[in-house]
Amino acid sequence: MNRRSLLMALSLLSLPSCRRAPPKDPVLVIGAGVAGLSAAARLRRAGLPVVVLEARDRVGGRVHASTTFAAHPIDLGAELMHGRGIATWELVTDRRARTRPVSNVVERHAGQLMPFHGEPSDAVATAFVELVAGLPSGADLTLAQAFERLEPRVPPEALRALRTQVSLDADLETMSARAVLAIVSDPNREGGDFVIEGGMSGLLPALQGDTRVRLGFVVEHIEVLSGGVRVTSKAGEVVAGSSAIVTLPLGVLRANDVRFSPPLPTQKREAIEGLGMAAAVKLFYRFSTPAVRAGTDALVVDDALPRFFWVGTFRAGGEQVVTGWATHDDARRLLGMGETAALTRGLEALRHALRSNVTPVSMRWSEWESQPFTRGAYSMTRAGGLGLRERLATPTEGRLFWAGEATALEAEASTVHGAFNSGRRAADELLRG
């Protein structure tokens, strides 16, 4: 055997799908969000038959756009690519989609408009990293506790800037400082955020390829049997599989909407209960002429609700859509008001930020709390909760494999690229047998 054929034989041996004959029953993938579609693509590429079961009448899950609100699709869920090095750039390349960085962020603080990312912020960010990385092994803090410890070490203005920045996406009172350290230390995140021409939902065709999805199949019961798995829908339809990849959102798992037989092990239940589910609200304002002047990508407002806006429109000039963003307590306050009052409140905040009485031609919100197939926006790690995502990701009974943003690596959780990578990881685990 020459070197080339030896290498070829070795590479075949290392291909998990070649170690055994393809199973008769397909692999069932539960959920056609980013994680489910990415898992299905990986399995199909390895030659396995796959059936994807999806409750909604569409694919994409939390990646979904309205095509009627504005001249271009607006993402009601995920919208931003978080970093220059994340895996989902391959989908952007596949679609040949253009992107634009959300780089020029200004802040209205104490009546002044100022650049958001100043020198002091970088210094305090370094102090935060040193503090959390220096904690004894196993120890953790909430973000609020971490900021309290930073107070004597850094100038108050610098700390205020960091607190503002972090609180736009994180709940200071509960969220793990170690989890935030994992996120900010991820080199793939470098370069900041990007919007995509055609929206995040424009990437779905590249992800789905020719994978067929059974839509409107609301999974109610997942059973692990001696020779495989059996999945029953709310309508009573039964589908048999050799094994399954479960990508149900954490909110759905927490609500016990899907029954498992045998019941999930304690470790898994503890992970489901221990991780938190964040709330998020997006407020969309469509203007016939630009309300935010060219050159400004986003606005932070320190004393308003919501406190963050960005320009969602890809092209400058003509129609402009400005998106308001609120998470956690801010989001719950807006949710409590209802859509009309929340939009009015958000418009006041935007006018305050711009110091201009701008008037949109239409407005709408999006929220995911009331959606039965999501039940919240995305998962979050509470202080002391490191390791729960790994537990959630651990295969069960050798037949159930777990994917979805909540099972992703800490640095990638709660994102589209985290969901994407988790689907691939779960597929690889299944293929390895």
Ligand X SMILES: Cc1cc2nc3c(=O)[nH]c(=O)nc-3n(C[C@H](O)[C@H](O)[C@H](O)COP(=O)(O)OP(=O)(O)OC[C@H]3O[C@@H](n4cnc5c(N)ncnc54)[C@H](O)[C@@H]3O)c2cc1C
Q: Give the residue, chosen from 172, 182, 218, 386, that forms a contact with ligand X under the rule CB under 6 A.
A: 218
Residue 130: both structure tokens together: 């040193």
128 binds ligand X (CB under 6 A): no
Nearer to ligand X, 106 or 244 (CB): 244
Count of chain residues binding ligand X (CB under 6 A): 41
Q: Give the residue, chosen from 80, 180, 277, 311, that forms a contact with ligand X under the rule CB under 6 A.
A: 80
Say if residues 432 and 20 touch (Cβ distance below 8 Å).
no
34 binds ligand X (CB under 6 A): yes
As a whole number of angstroms, the distance between CA 263 and CA 109 comes to 52
As a whole number of angstroms, the distance between CA 433 and CA 414 comes to 27
| Cβ at position 343, least distance to ligand X in Å | 16
Q: Give the residue, chosen from 56, 254, 307, 328, that forms a contact with ligand X under the rule CB under 6 A.
A: 56
Going residue by residue from 178 to 217, which x/- string records binding to ligand X, judged by CB under 6 A?
----------------------------------------
As a whole number of angstroms, the distance between CA 331 and CA 311 comes to 19
Q: Give the residue, chosen from 77, 306, 324, 360, that forms a contact with ligand X under the rule CB under 6 A.
A: 77
- Environment class of 38 (CB within 10 Å of its CB; exposed 0-12, middle 13-18, buried 19+): buried
222 binds ligand X (CB under 6 A): no
276 binds ligand X (CB under 6 A): no
Long-range contacts of 330-338 (CB under 8 A, 24+ apart): 330/281, 330/305, 330/306, 331/278, 331/279, 331/280, 331/281, 331/367, 331/377, 332/279, 333/305, 334/281, 334/283, 334/305, 334/306, 334/365, 335/279, 335/281, 335/367, 335/369
| Cβ at position 76, least distance to ligand X in Å | 7
39 binds ligand X (CB under 6 A): no
| Cβ at position 232, least distance to ligand X in Å | 11
Nearer to ligand X, 256 or 288 (CB): 256
| Interface residues toward ligand X, by CB under 6 A | 30-36, 53-56, 61-63, 77-80, 82, 218-219, 247-249, 252, 257-258, 280, 282, 368, 373-374, 377-378, 404-405, 414-417, 419
